Chain A
């Protein structure tokens, strides 16, 4: 990797300022970043390490300023590791899908190091993007080689895959999107703002590697999961995470899905269906949601929602099987949700 200056801020403000400087990149766990730097896909001048910053950890919000109460929701510090998230008792009760997705990611060693913020900010695992010897739209080339004849396409995107067919790798992203999570972002002038996570994902742009558009110097401080509220503990929002992967040990999902349902009696009042590893960003399966709202979870409704989930799919010659897998994960997620009492 190229030589760089290692910057160690001790406050969020310092970190944001340092990150705003040209040529800076933020390092939390560094799992993804170091891989990219070793391949010189990223060649930053400055690496701003967040390791000396205080981390929020996992806790409950305090909306009324009166301490944790019925309206308190889950707040996750951005530097919480995937291992901590997977094992956290509150997460497992209030939003088990999140703990499940964290527990399935990568390997135990990586989960002990990788952070929630890093998982959201990670870049695609597309082998063409990761090696500079290949052309790549995200690295500034005109076209995406994955779309060409003779390309290896098995793990590529099946939705929104033009002009770039990279697949989004985050396990947490579909869950947090389905949960309507917001992120608290610090900026270099000392302000924090709250953004909906689903709004920060940007479709591939030529020469832009990141799938998230935070703006220079903005860094994720924490993630807020409003649907995981103490008050709903007796009627928790139902959400499940499903993924299909080739290996049982350390592997990337071929497809993943998080399905969230807010029920009104036996009818679906509101639904969130988000897919992972099938598009350059987390993929919103809106047609599947529409197929669910106002309905009871009968076999027919579940089947129709699973079919609707692949609406608009544009698979490549080498990955049409992923269309079938999407239907399976959505159906299985719904069947699990139905079985929850």
Chain B
């Protein structure tokens, strides 16, 4: 059963009426301009105090009685053959419970960090000694650790059956050759990006405990309790419903933590065989090398346009490596702007290195860095303001508004250097901009439980996990909105597969996938309270309304939320809400843009990002505070990607030279710019709360904006990330001294 409704979507100045059929049981969309009580306000993160005081328990903090420790012995070389492996000395050491060969003599390792053996021991100390006592002899084999090297003819291959270069499907449109021939200006350049590792503070791994009844309890650091449950059940050889996965708090994921990994399967095997709890979380070196990364890219691009600033053709070839597997690299450089004629050929290159994984907007930051650099180059060649160029070619109605908001706040007119590099003195400033795009409306049939007891306690339950994004608080806000109470009054129980299944936290889909179910559950709870009052007041339910947190009925009858709850039976009220299918909405792409202001010391090459204005859309914003926090995090990670992070592999061995946090540089407190977040909250439609994703787009444009700002500041462009002092100085030298 459905009903047909028409409501207003969009943003003031970019509005659109949509008419949709919605499920009878679904909540009616609020529509553009709705005045809401809690939704869209600043609500402090529910678990904020627990996290700040250290009370919050992460899987890393879980220790169980009789718990043993497991760890893999890893080969720290990109390519080698195991000649011999001897566990006997390790097995004899006190406290060693089990040792296992994972790579037999004759087998190859094809990335640094690959597991060759594993040990389970009574203590971490015994474990460490045992790993050191394992004797492995390797035959070193030739390595091609970088994309460039793996592309050379005759380069060694991780998989001898497949060539290293794997062409993905090209993206083509129109007639590129003709368009270039007719273009008024053409720019060509090669951009390069590095490998960035996820570097979540909590490493991958889990604690697995046998329950004694054939089932297991697992405390996992995961972005998907559901996915982890399925994959670890498979590893344990039991049904998923015999495995309970708990992930109460997670110290970040960024795309690298979904199902159980090969080291988790080792943990599972020991837990099962030894019939005792076993813990294994990776150390930092393994995190950097084996637990995913953002692939690098080499983007050779050509962009053509007309005198009026319209882009007519974009072409290029892209190479990148997602490690020793096949495929998986690629740079998303053809979104955002109108490219009427297009020919982008992308290839993935197999290298002797750990595999890439989804990483906060896979493909996008690297693609946007290059594409936005090309836009600036073309604008310069055509003699058009870089912002005008973007306005001319951007089809998104909301981003058209956002560009103007961002330009105003960064002071584009005053701060964009008409002559790049023209500041006096060694420290030169400039501004630059770049666009964000994302496209997630959420989906699934997820169910949220809400329970209200007679004393007025509200409990929300779902298996969804909060990887730091604020989904716990978002669920509370949506339920609270329907009940007319404050979000702080709602207890949210999540991160446990004993609750109804929740979405994985990936693709920026968590809020739009589960939020609408929470809203519907809140609505059901309100209806239950109204029914209880209707019985009590002997009034028709449809004449009872919730106004400003008070239930009002005929004859001026009034009940606070607590009073309404007291009318419930001893069993309280148990209701569910469901995620309904998506319907039509404002725009399939969320819009965003960022502007950066940098200061560059042209003598030292050191870049400081002074300010970033981040203008983002994520449909309707539920909790403005945690949403801004998401954007802050995206900007900081983007600055870190632009200036610092770099997985440096030694090309002779394929091993990482900087696998610790003192040498793998990540932006720290003093490296963070002032961040001015503007959330253009819109009614996006698509679901009952108008929700879309935010986590990923927030980091998409940062590096592009920073790189363009650096070029504007110094009058020379750095075509490769990270923008190190060495590269800044080289760019200036190539250009001649600008001092």
Contacts and interface: CB of A to CB of B under 8 A. Distances in A.
Which 3 pairs between the two chains have the least Cβ-Cβ distance? A249-B668, A150-B651, A133-B76
13 contacts: A40-B132, A125-B663, A127-B663, A128-B657, A145-B653, A154-B724, A247-B671, A248-B671, A249-B667, A250-B662, A252-B663, A254-B725, A321-B730
Contact of A321 (B76, B658, B659, B729): B729
A245 B657 CA distance: 19
B665 A246 contact: yes
A145 B650 contact: yes
B670 interface: yes
A246 B644 contact: yes
Nearest to A332: B603
A127 B667 CA distance: 20
Nearest to B668: A249
Contact of B608 (A1, A40, A150, A248): A248
A6 interface: no
A278 to B, nearest CB: 14
A151 interface: yes
B575 interface: no
Given A152-B650, A244-B604, A244-B606, A127 B729 contact: no
A134 B129 CA distance: 20
A150 B652 contact: yes
B655 to A, nearest CB: 6
Interface of B: 76-77, 125, 128-129, 132, 285, 603-606, 608, 643-644, 648-653, 655-660, 662-663, 665, 667-671, 724-726, 729-730
A257 to B, nearest CB: 12
A131 B659 contact: yes
Contacts of B665: 246-247, 251
A251 B668 CA distance: 9
A199 B212 CA distance: 66
A340 interface: no
A149 B648 CA distance: 14
Contacts of A133: 76-77, 653, 655
Contacts of A245: 606
Contacts of A40: 132
Nearest to B649: A152
A193 B563 CA distance: 83
Nearest to B640: A247
Contact of A130 (B660, B671, B725, B726): B660
Contacts of B651: 149-151
A284 B656 CA distance: 32
B650 A321 contact: no
B510 to A, nearest CB: 30
Contacts of B662: 125, 250, 252
A152 B663 CA distance: 12
Contact of A148 (B652, B655, B658, B671): B652
Contacts of B658: 127, 152
Nearest to B672: A249
Interface in A121-161: 125, 127-128, 130-131, 133-134, 145, 148-152, 154
A2 interface: yes
Given A125-B663, A328-B603, A145 B725 contact: no
A274 B132 CA distance: 41
Given A133-B653, A150-B651, A152-B648, A324 B670 contact: no
A250 B640 CA distance: 13
